[in-house]
Amino acid sequence: MIERIKHIIGGLHADMVSWRRHLHRNPELSFQERNTVAFVIERLRAEGIEVRSGVGKLTPDDPGTGAIALVRGAMGASDKCIALRADLDALPITEVGKDAYCSLNHGVMHACGHDAHTAMVLGAGIALHRLGSEWSGTVMLVFQPGEEKEPGGASLLVKEGVLNDPKPSGILGQHVTPELPTGKLGFRSGPFMAAADELYITVKGRGGHAGSPHLCIDPVPIAAQLILALQHVVSRRNRPGQPMVLSLGKVIANGATNIIPDVVRIEGTLRTFDETWRAELHGMLPDLAKGICEGLGGDVDFTIVKGSPVVKNDPDLTARIRSAAVDFVGADNIVDMDIRMGAEDFAYYTHVMPGCFFRVGTGNPSKPGTQSGLHRAEMDIDEDALSTGAGMMAWGAICELGR
C-alpha cells in the first residue's frame, strides 16, 4: 500500500504545487477564507468527494468559512473513522520575494504554511478517494478557518459538533517546519505546544506638556516599570524548569517630543504548559499591574483573552503514527522534537479526542526562503515536501483504519 500511495501522490505533486501557489497568491485572513474554502470545495467535488460547507461560524448568522469532507473506503463495511486536519487562514504580513507566486493581497501572506497544509490534506484526500477500493472506513478531511485568531476555528468546529457525524477515533495534523530538512518528519508524545493567551494592557496617567512633568502623571515610566515587573514574574515567580514565556510585542505611547501622553497601550502573549499555573497567572498579573500603576499614581486596565490550551499528543496514537512514519520515510528521517512555545488551535481537538500533531520538514539550503522562520515576510517552503506530508497523512489514515 505504501508504494501505491507514493505513486498516486507522486502523480498529484504538480497539482499540489499548483494548488499551494494559487492559495499563496490569494491569501485570506482568519474567518475571511471564503474564496479559499470555495477553491478547496470545488476540487473535492470534482473528484466526487462528499463535502459539508458552512462550518466554523463566528455567529449564528455567519456563513462559516470551513468545510468537512468525507472520503469513504469501499472495501467492505466499517464504522471506523479518522480525521485529517488542515487550516486555511493567512497572516497580516506584507510579503517579499517569490516573484512567481507572491501574494496579490497586499498586507496579507501565507507566512505560516497553511497554504501547504491545505494542499497536502487535499492531496491526501484525493489519493485516498482514488484508492477507495483498497481500504474500508471513513476519512474525515477537516478544512478549518481561523487558526491564527481567537477564538480559534478549531474551538468553533468542536463546539458545533461537526466532528461527531461520523465521530473520528482520532485526528492527525501537521505543520511545515523550516528548521527540519525536506523529507524529515518530527514527532513528540504528550504535551507538545504551549497554551497561549493574549494580553491587552492600558496604563493610564495624565498627559500634558513634556516640560512640566510635575503637573502630569506620566504613564511612560509607569509602563516601563510594569514591563520589567512582568518579566520578573517569569524569572522569579515561575517554578524553575517549568516552561513559560511572557512577551510584549506592542507598546504605544502616542505622545511627541514635547507631549506626555495620557495612556500607554501594551499588547503581548502569555505561553504556559501547566493549567494550574496558567490560572494563577490570570489572577496574579492584573493584581501586580494594578499595584504598580496605582503605587506610581496611575491606573491600569489589564485584559487577558484566554486562547488555545496545550497541544496534547496522545501517546498511543502518536506511537502508532510515528511507527507508520518509519515505514513511510525510513527511520533516518524521523526526528524526536522538543516542546515548542508556539501555540496551535489544533489543541482543542486533542482535548476531546486522541490527536497526533507532527512536523513536516520544508527546509532546503539551496532554495531561498525555505529556512526562514515562520511568520516572516520571506518565509517559503521546499515544495518537494508536499508529497512527504500528503503521503504521510494518507498512509497514517490507512494504518489507523486498518487496526
- C-alpha 357/C-alpha 187 separation (Å) is 8
Reading the block at residue 362, the C-alpha cell is 520544508
Max CA distance (Å), the chain? 83
Choose, from 28, 147, 197, 344, the residue flagged as catalytic.
Answer: 147
- Contact indicator for 50, 110 with CB cutoff of 8 Å: no
Q: Which residue has the cell 517552503?
A: 381
- Contact indicator for 18, 119 with CB cutoff of 8 Å: no
**Which of 150, 27, 144 minimizes the C-alpha distance to 92?**
27
Residues with Cβ within 8 Å of 255's Cβ and at least 6 positions away in sequence, in order, are: 207, 210, 220, 261
Choose, from 28, 89, 314, 344, the residue flagged as catalytic.
Answer: 89
Q: Write the secondary structure of the chain as one string of H (helix), E (strand) and C (coil).
A: CHHHHHHHHHHHHHHHHHHHHHHHHCCCCCCCCHHHHHHHHHHHHHCCCEEEEEECCCCCCCCCCEEEEEEECCCCCCCCEEEEEEECCCECCCCCCCCCCCCCCCCCECCCCHHHHHHHHHHHHHHHHHCHHHCCCEEEEEEECCCCCCCCHHHHHHHHCHHHCCCCCCEEEEEEEEEEECCCEEECCEEEECEEEEEEEEEECECEECCCHHHCECHHHHHHHHHHHHHHHHHHHCCCCCCEEEEEEEEECCCECCEECCEEEEEEEEEECCHHHHHHHHHHHHHHHHHHHHHCCCEEEEEEEECCCCEEECHHHHHHHHHHHHHHHCHHHEEECCCECCCCCCHHHHCCCCEEEEEEEEECCCCCCCCCCCCCCCCCCCCCHHHHHHHHHHHHHHHHHCC
CA 272, 276, 280 angle in degrees (round to 5)?
A: 85
- CA R_g for the chain: 23
pLDDT at 169: 97
* Count of residues in the chain: 403
Active site residue 147: yes
Q: What phi and psi, each to the nearest 5 degrees, are found at residue 337?
A: -90, 150
pLDDT at 348: 98
The pLDDT tens digits along the chain (403 residues) read 999 999 999 999 999 999 999 999 999 999 999 999 999 999 999 999 999 999 999 999 999 999 999 999 998 788 999 999 999 999 999 999 888 899 999 999 999 999 999 999 999 999 999 999 999 999 999 999 999 999 999 999 999 999 999 999 999 999 999 999 999 999 999 999 999 999 999 999 999 999 999 999 999 999 999 999 999 999 999 999 999 999 999 999 999 999 999 999 999 999 999 999 999 999 999 999 999 999 999 999 999 999 999 999 999 999 999 999 999 999 999 999 999 999 999 999 999 999 999 999 999 999 989 999 999 999 999 999 999 999 999 999 999 999 6
- Contact indicator for 36, 26 with CB cutoff of 8 Å: yes
- Contact indicator for 251, 240 with CB cutoff of 8 Å: no
pLDDT at 97: 84
Active site residue 89: yes
Q: Which domains does the chain have, with CATH numbers?
A: 2-194+310-401 (3.40.630.10), 195-306 (3.30.70.360)
Dihedral sign computed on CA atoms, order 384, 388, 390, 391:
positive
Q: In what order do the strands lie in the sheet with 195-204?
A: 244-252, 263-272, 195-204, 299-306
pLDDT at 298: 98
Whole-model pTM: value is 0.94
Cα-to-chain-centroid distance, residue 287:
31
